[in-house]
Structure 1
């Protein structure tokens, strides 16, 4: 089990919902990945991310899908691509990532509470 954190620690992590507006293959990545652009609306706008989600999600099927992401991590350079947010997911029984998303459409930019 991981170390305990306080509610104040958790409050520092900004987890928001956004809609994928573009997705493209990322052949330059060391592990199979997709480049995605997520619109968080309002003050955050569109942010890009690299996600290792190729098993369950062809790029063309991602557009229009809402996802949950951490938006306040420092950007991370992944090869020639700058990943600005961390899209959240969970491994299936084989370790392939399944995206976290709301089961009912919610306004983009909404913060997890």
Structure 2
């Protein structure tokens, strides 16, 4: 059965050192992360039980730490890292992760650069 319920975290801010250019690795930059968890929230709601859902405060801290650790070249890799972390929570059936790199080294004016991955259990 596909979950119709969601937990949404929007605009998590993390300082990361990801990128292919040397100055991105040396200076770092701000990354924003949006995460949508798809899961069945009815067991948690029926029993008013935090243990039957995902503690979004703890998850937010873990996501920020994941983005801030182990520099990689691509934000695609960062998004995969976050998706795997979220899917490590058993109630989550699928997840959508968007990693924004608002200060990407692009020579023309732009508002945002983002990568979105959608992953599911199994």
**Is the TM value for this pair above 0.5?**
no
Q: Which has the higher helix share?
A: 2
Please, what TM-score do these two structures have when normalized by structure 2?
0.26
Q: Which has the higher strand share?
A: 1
Higher Cα Rg, which structure: 2
